[in-house]
Amino acid sequence: MDPGIVPVVAALRLGGLSTSASCWGHAHRACPGPWVHVGPGGGFPELWDRVEGLLNGFNAGRARVRTERRLAASVVHGHMTLQPEIARIEAASTRQVWVEGRVPRPADLRAARREMRAFASYLLASW
């Protein structure tokens, strides 16, 4: 496990949320921002509600954070995935393309990692 993502995974698990995969993000790879798969793959309405509630609480106090840097939940390859909006990617033909249509900057990766660290702190204070 990437050392940077350990606090996020640990905080989720302390709150009773299982994780199945994670990454701290890499500027020049298919998924350049940090992400965590939460819970089992497949259907998860109760899990979705719980995670969305946590994200809403976290993001409510962060009005000054730009929208593309806020954490969000989405379904990626059948798994609920937590990641900053800026790290969300879409498949286009056989290559990965940024949602915003631009190549990420190192500052984007640093900002996304800051959001994940802040979320881990929020979770630990919430449990």
CB-CB contact of 34 with 116 (8 Å) = yes
pLDDT, tens only, 10-62: 999 999 999 999 999 876 665 667 899 998 765 578 888 888 899 989 988 77
Q: How many CB atoms lie within 10 A of CB 57?
A: 12
Q: Where are the domains of the chain?
A: 3-126
**pLDDT confidence of residue 119:** 94
* Edge-first strand listing for the sheet containing 19-23: 19-23, 35-38, 79-84, 71-76
CB-CB contact of 71 with 58 (8 Å) = yes
**pLDDT confidence of residue 45:** 80
pLDDT, tens only, 64-106: 666 556 788 887 777 888 888 765 543 333 344 444 445 566 7
What is the value of pTM for the model shown? Answer: 0.80
Which position has the token pair 């500052």?
Answer: 107
What tokens appear for 103 in the block?
């190549």
